[in-house]
Amino acid sequence: MKQKIILLLLVLCAGLPSVAQHRHEISIAGGYGLSSLQYESNFSNHKKGYNAQAGLGYNFYFTPNWSVKTGAGLGFYSANVSLDGTVSYPKNRVGDIDFAYAYTGYKETVSTALLTVPVMVQGETGGRVAFYAALGAKIGIPLLAQYKTSGHLTTSGYHVIYKLLFDNLPHYGFGQYDVDEITGWDLNLSVQLSLEAGAKWRLTDRFSLYVGGYFDYGLMNLNKKPDDVVGTRLITYQPATKPDEYKFFYGGLFNNSKKLYPVAAGITLRLSFGLSSL
């Protein structure tokens, strides 16, 4: 019985039409999954965000089973970070005032968008249904970066000379606030180790459908701030230049991290079109 089944499979495989391999292949791809921006922070609770990718690709086949892949695309990364309980810094002296704050229910959502250029080597098996794997790097050019902070903030100041406590002067930055701020920030160029693997269905002699998974890991620090600028406070007090200006700014948890690396994994679909047979 087994011999008959094997013989039948061989006959069916022999009856499949031959597949032409093309030297050039262009494609359109999209992907979705989870991402994280790895902070160097010991007092935060990280939660994964989303990752979305889309772009155009080009493969040059130098043999029927090996090609070099490049192209251009967009990558979106996000991460959520929160602090449990209340975070407070009782002493931050500016001039003659000791500035203090307590932050309760702090949440931060970081979002970034990168223009990505992959440089990868792809290997694949033959046949109408093939397995493939691609390994290489992605260069990411920052297009957008912002973080949103929220929570309840209580600030106060103590004048060390006059022995006065300021805790109800909202126009001078002392009081209670419900925070909901969106702030932009700068990124370095991103370089990521990139891996993709899955199955390739050759739908026709020219069209193929890739279905696989991807994993991207950042190799370079995204944080553009130098070490001497990276702080240890979520809120920093500054003297106002006008009487009605608030005297603090929101630093964000990324300011407390000297290093920031993007990590993403998900599912990808790619539709390709072959040109110029080998």
- Of 75, 196, 83, 206, the C-alpha closest to 143 is 75
The number of beta carbons lying within 10 Å of the beta carbon of residue 245 is 12
- For the stretch 222-243, pLDDT in tens is 877 655 444 556 776 665 555 4
> How far is 107 from 84, CA to CA, in rounded Å?
9
Distances from the Cα of 91 to the Cα of 102, 106, 156, 251, angstroms? 11, 20, 10, 17
The mean per-residue pLDDT over the stretch 1-6 comes to: 47
Distances from the Cα of 268 to the Cα of 41, 139, 214, angstroms? 31, 18, 7
- For the stretch 136-167, pLDDT in tens is 999 999 998 888 888 888 888 888 898 988 88
- For the stretch 75-85, pLDDT in tens is 999 888 887 66
**pTM for the full model?**
0.77
Two structure tokens written together for 197: 């693997």
> How far is 187 from 231, CA to CA, in rounded Å?
17
- Length of the chain as a residue count: 278
- For the stretch 96-110, pLDDT in tens is 778 888 888 888 888
Domains located in the chain, CATH noted:
20-277 (2.40.160.20)
Distances from the Cα of 123 to the Cα of 13, 37, 60, 195, angstroms? 22, 30, 11, 12
- For the stretch 22-56, pLDDT in tens is 899 999 999 999 988 776 655 556 677 889 999 99
